Each structure stands twice: as structure tokens, then as C-alpha cells.
Chain A
Amino acid sequence: MKKEKKKKVSFARTWPLHLMLLPGVLVLFVYTILPLLGNVMAFQNFQPILGFFKSKWVGLDNFKYMFMLPDTFNIFRNTLIIAVGKIIFNLVMSVFFAVLLYEMGGKHFKKMTQTICFLPHFLSWVILAMIFRDLLDGSGIINTVLLKLGMIEEAIVFLGSNSLFQGIIVSTDVWKEFGYGAIIFIAALAGINQELYEAASIDGASRLQKIWNITLPGIKVTVVLVATLNIANVLNAGFDQVYNLYSPIVYETGDIIDTYVYRMSFESAQYSLATAIGLLKSVVSFVLIVLSNYLAKRFANYRIF
């Protein structure tokens, strides 16, 4: 009895807090939870005219159909290759860049290099795709230079080549993100105890030995943390980038889950199939996020919430 009374009093005091949360919760409910419930269409033969409630239920048919399609295997494979490539090369380049900056003396030069290398992160893939399409074009500057140097006989159609496409996607992404990705390592490097270097100098260690034995171990935890958190991204190959750089010629190696789902939905109107694939991706991603956060908490004592 006493407890209940206490609760009532506290609601009288906390109603402004509920009111504060209301608009945000409403937006999240309508535009995140409702679409989530809309995932039922993965088990329907959804037709926009009939809507969610009148479309026919087909059970797991969409999923069976999905696993029979050769495209499905292809897009999952492409997504994995591109995403894992991005994660690995971004990590390596970011660490490399951070260590170079750390070893660099001159303050102004350092600042300028940072400013330049962070910039691409803030530009959109629409803009960057236009730039790269121009650079990699048959008559673009890269082909022109290679031809002049006599390294190739005729212009390479970079973005129209299935064997080059994944490499181009990964390397342009590294180009865009390595500087920004280095920030967390730059912060970690600033925390290394300087006395370690002095002691190593007295022992006669070379610069490379110091990097290998002091600098890199000093940021090991951060590297592991970033790698772990990235596990959550192995099904995110980057819609914006791929969508703006690919073309039907390179669907074989360039088509990823997100672009496929988009095309199935809004170009082929195969709503239910698209949703089934999207749902499969969401479920796997959810497991990966939970797993990566669990590992991050376990190994690096990091948690976001």
C-alpha cells in the first residue's frame, strides 16, 4: 500500500519527463517500429493495392524462392568481400597514418596533413562518385597518364570491369575514410608514456624497434576495440558508394544486398522478396551487433549504452 502511494507521487513529479520523451518516441514508433512490423510482408505476397492486411499469406515461400535465386548467393558473397576488405584495409591504413603523424615533428605540417586527410570523410558519395567516375573514365586523367607513361596500350574501363570493381570500391572507401578513422588512434597514441621511449633510447633501440615494441603495443587495445566493433558492419558494404559507382555491367561482382533490395523494391516491384532479403540481413546484423558489443565490453571494457 505504501509503495503504491510512493509511485503515484513520483508520476505526479515525472510527467514532464514523459512529455519530453513523447515526440521522439512517437517519431521512432511510427518510422522505425511500424516499418519493423511491416516486415510481415516477407511472409506475404504483398500488393500495394491490397495493403498489409489483405495481401495473401504465403508462409516461407519468399524465403524458399530467395535461396533458390542465384543472385542471392552472389549478393551475399559480394557484400562480404567488399565489407571485410573495407574493414581490414581501413584499419591498417588508419593505424599507419596515425603512427606516421605521431612520428612526425613539425606542428603546422602535422595540422595541415590532418586537415587535408580528414576532409574526404565529410563529402558525400554522390559528389565523390562523380569525381571518381571522371578520374577513372576512359578519357579520364588516370588513363591519360598511364597511356602517356606507356604502361598500358589502350584505355582501361575501370568501372566497367568485373575483376577491378571490388578493388576500386574498397580503395576509394579507404581513400575517403582512412584519415577520419585515424582520429581514435591519434587520441590513443597521445596517451602513451613518453618515458618508455627514453628508456628504449638508452638501451639503444632504433626508431623502427620503438614503433614495433612501444607505439604499436600502446594502441593495441584500441585497435582490437575498433576491429571488434566493426564486426557489426560485415553486411554493410555501403549503399551510397556502390549505388553511385556501379552499372549493370558490374552487377556480377558489384551488386550488394542493399542495392539489390533497392532495385527489387523500386525497380522490379518485388516487394515481398526484397523485404525477405532485407529481413534476413537485419536479423544477421542484429546478432552481429550484439556479439560485437559483447566482445568489446569483454575485451576492452567498452560500452556504448
Chain B
Amino acid sequence: MIKYKTMENRIFDFVVTLLLVILGLLCLLPLLHVLALSLSSKNAAVAGRVGFWPVEFTFASYEYLLQDARFFQSFVVSVKRVILGGGINLILTILMAYPLSLEKEEFPARDRYMWFTIFCMLFGASLVPWYFVIKETGLLDSIWALVIPSGVPVYNVILLMNFFRNQPKAIKESAKIDGINQVQMMFLICVPLAKPALATVTLFSIVGHWNNFFDGMLLINTPAKVPLQTYIQSLVINMSDTSKLSTEQLINMMSQRTFNSAKIVIATIPILVIYPFMQKYFVTGITLGSVKE
């Protein structure tokens, strides 16, 4: 867009910039506040003197956190969950998406499988029967309960299927003439060409597994096996209902403030680490679903 330096344009640009700065600050300030709290002294935090910059700068909360075995235990559980869950999601997504991407002439049963998959996507499982099925299949209270029932992310399967379908037909045709079979076609042609799509769905499933607290809350009983978000969530529940607490408890809770902030910061770091990669791919992720024919 060509812009001329008229008065109107300058005022307009100024207002636009100002509004964007405000929106950006709105998103950033709550996070900065937590970071500032985690680096401030307890007294400053309790007195409410911490804004967006650490007051009486100290690493005390982080040093205290290092002694919290449960926090790191659950951190490790979460890392394990992400690796296992992300891996299972990736493998099952590829294995389902490829056959579904074939034409009916090549794979007559394709449509039946497709309807089955769509049906599973439209009807989410009900909570109570879902819980009892997991219990009956003996997964309860093990890490497998967190990764197997959610093993097939149906939405990702359909995204990847559409991606496979949009790959250039010419390559597949010439490979077929060279006498390649379906399995080779998948591993040698389709999957290597689908790297951006695979990166997208994997990053999404990693973030999903890292952020999920619900499965851990419902399916894991042993404290040592609880994933990080579930552990942090149990702290939130302890924090609620302040009306019933005595003044002493309230002050005690308030002094936890810097400590809890440190936990939040550490729990967020993995997301921040993969965030740049996400940013590269999430536009693909959103446009991936559209069918182009």
C-alpha cells in the first residue's frame, strides 16, 4: 500500500501503533508480573510492592524450588509423557492418515474407515464410561493412561490426510510405474514430502500433552506419577476458598506467592523453548485443513 505523508495518515498511523502497543502490553504485562514476583523478595511480594520489575532482586524462590522434589518429579513425568505421547501420536497419525488419503479405486475399504474416523471425531467420549473403560483396560495410575487413550488425535489425522491428498500426483504416478508398493510409497515418498505438516501436528500434540492437567488429575493417584500441570493445578485448588482461611494461613499462603511464581516460570520455559518453532509452523497448521481441488 502506498502511503502519502499527509496529516491524516500520520495521525492514523499513530493511533494504530498506539492501539497495537496497548494490546501487546496487555498480553505481556501479566506474564512480566509473574516473572517479577518470582525474582522479588517475599516481603516485597506480600506487601504488594511488586509491579513489572523485581523488587529487592533475589533468586531465593528458585533456590527454594530446587529443594522441592515433587516439582521436579512431576516435571520429569511431564517430559516422559511428552516424548511417549508425542511419539505415539505421530506414529498413529501417519499410519492412519496415509491409507485414508488413498482414492477409493486404490483402497476400496477407504470410505468405511473414513466414516468410522469422522464418527469418532464428532462424538466425543462421555466422561464416566471413558473413565471406567480406562480402568477396565488396566491403565489407571500409570503413564500409559496419559498417552494411549489419547493416542489418535483425529483432527490431526484429517489434517495430515488432506496434506497427503494435496501432494503432487505426478510424483506418485511415476513412483508407481517404477513398481513401488504402498508401504514403500508411504515411507519413501509421502512422509518425507510431508515434513512441514508432520512438524505442525507434532508440535501441537507436544503442547497439548504438556498443557494437559485433566488426565493426570483423574487417572493418576500416586503423587510421584502426577504430571507437572496436574501438580500445579493441585496448588491452585489449595489456593481457592480463601474465605475459610485464618489470617495466619492467609499470610502463609501469600508468602507462597514468590515460590508459586517461580514454579509458573519454570513450567512455562519448555513452551517458550519450542515457541519459535511453533511460530514457523502454526500458519501451516491452520491452512492445512482446507481442501484444495
A201 on the B face (CB < 8 A): yes
Interface string of B1-25 (1 = CB under 8 A from A): 1111000110011001101110110
**Known interface pairs A278-B128, A302-B290. Does A104 touch B17 (Cβ–Cβ under 8 Å)?**
yes
**Known interface pairs A127-B232, A144-B48, A305-B114. Does A132 touch B30 (Cβ–Cβ under 8 Å)?**
yes
B98 on the A face (CB < 8 A): yes
A82 on the B face (CB < 8 A): no
Question: Which residues from chain B contact A265 at a C-beta distance below 8 Å?
Answer: 127-128, 131
A119 on the B face (CB < 8 A): yes
| Interface hit among B62-70, B170-178, B193-201, B277-285 | B277-285
Question: Which residues from chain B contact A23 at a C-beta distance below 8 Å?
Answer: 92, 95
- Option from A104, A198, A207, A302 in Cβ contact (under 8 Å) with B20: A104
Q: Which of A236-284 contact B (CB under 8 A)?
A: 239-240, 244, 247-249, 261-262, 265-266, 271, 274-275, 278-279, 282
User: Are B116 and A28 within 8 A (Cβ)?
Assistant: yes
Alpha-carbon separation in the docked complex, A231 to B193 (Å)? 35
User: Are A27 and B149 within 8 A (Cβ)?
Assistant: yes
Interface string of A126-140 (1 = CB under 8 A from B): 110111111100111
Question: Which residues from chain B contact A112 at a C-beta distance below 8 Å?
Answer: 24
Interchain Cβ contacts within 8 Å, total number: 252
Which residue in chain A gives the minimum CB-CB distance to B110? Answer: A17
Residues of B in contact, count (CB < 8 Å): 105
User: Are A16 and B271 within 8 A (Cβ)?
Assistant: no
Question: Which residues from chain B contact A32 at a C-beta distance below 8 Å?
Answer: 120, 123-125
User: Are B128 and A275 within 8 A (Cβ)?
Assistant: yes
- Option from A25, A37, A41, A100 in Cβ contact (under 8 Å) with B23: A100
Question: Which residues from chain B contact A126 at a C-beta distance below 8 Å?
Answer: 211, 213, 229, 232-233, 236
User: Are A122 and B233 within 8 A (Cβ)?
Assistant: no
**Known interface pairs A198-B2, A265-B128, A286-B123. Does A14 touch B108 (Cβ–Cβ under 8 Å)?**
yes
Report whether over half of chain B's contact residues are helix, strand or loop; otherwise say mixed. Answer: helix
**Known interface pairs A127-B264, A240-B213. Does A207 touch B12 (Cβ–Cβ under 8 Å)?**
yes
User: Are A122 and B16 within 8 A (Cβ)?
Assistant: no
User: Are A244 and B233 within 8 A (Cβ)?
Assistant: yes
User: Are B129 and A275 within 8 A (Cβ)?
Assistant: yes
Report whether over half of chain A's contact residues are helix, strand or loop; otherwise say mixed. Answer: helix
Question: Which residues from chain A contact B218 at a C-beta distance below 8 Å?
Answer: 266
User: Are B283 and A183 within 8 A (Cβ)?
Assistant: yes
Question: Which residues from chain A contact B186 at a C-beta distance below 8 Å?
Answer: 20
Which residue in chain A gives the minimum CB-CB distance to B257? Answer: A134
Interface centre among B96, B106, B207 (most CB of A within 10 A): B96
User: Are A139 and B23 within 8 A (Cβ)?
Assistant: no
- Option from A38, A120, A124, A289 in Cβ contact (under 8 Å) with B132: A38
**Known interface pairs A30-B137, A122-B207, A187-B283. Does A16 touch B183 (Cβ–Cβ under 8 Å)?**
yes
- Option from B134, B213, B254, B287 in Cβ contact (under 8 Å) with A31: B134
- Option from A18, A31, A274 in Cβ contact (under 8 Å) with B133: A31
User: Are A131 and B264 within 8 A (Cβ)?
Assistant: yes
Q: Which residues of A contact B (CB under 8 A)?
A: 7, 10, 13-14, 16-18, 20-21, 23-25, 27-28, 30-39, 41, 46, 48, 52, 97, 100-101, 103-105, 109, 112-113, 115-120, 122-127, 129-135, 138-141, 144, 160, 175, 179-180, 183-184, 187, 194, 197-198, 201, 206-208, 239-240, 244, 247-249, 261-262, 265-266, 271, 274-275, 278-279, 282, 285-286, 289-290, 302-305
What are 22 contact pairs spanning A and B, CB under 8 A?
A14-B109, A20-B186, A24-B157, A30-B137, A33-B120, A103-B13, A104-B20, A122-B271, A123-B268, A123-B271, A126-B236, A131-B31, A131-B33, A132-B30, A133-B240, A134-B37, A183-B286, A201-B2, A206-B8, A249-B243, A271-B128, A302-B290
Which 5 pairs show the lowest CB-CB distances between chains A and B?
A: A38-B129, A124-B211, A35-B125, A35-B129, A24-B96
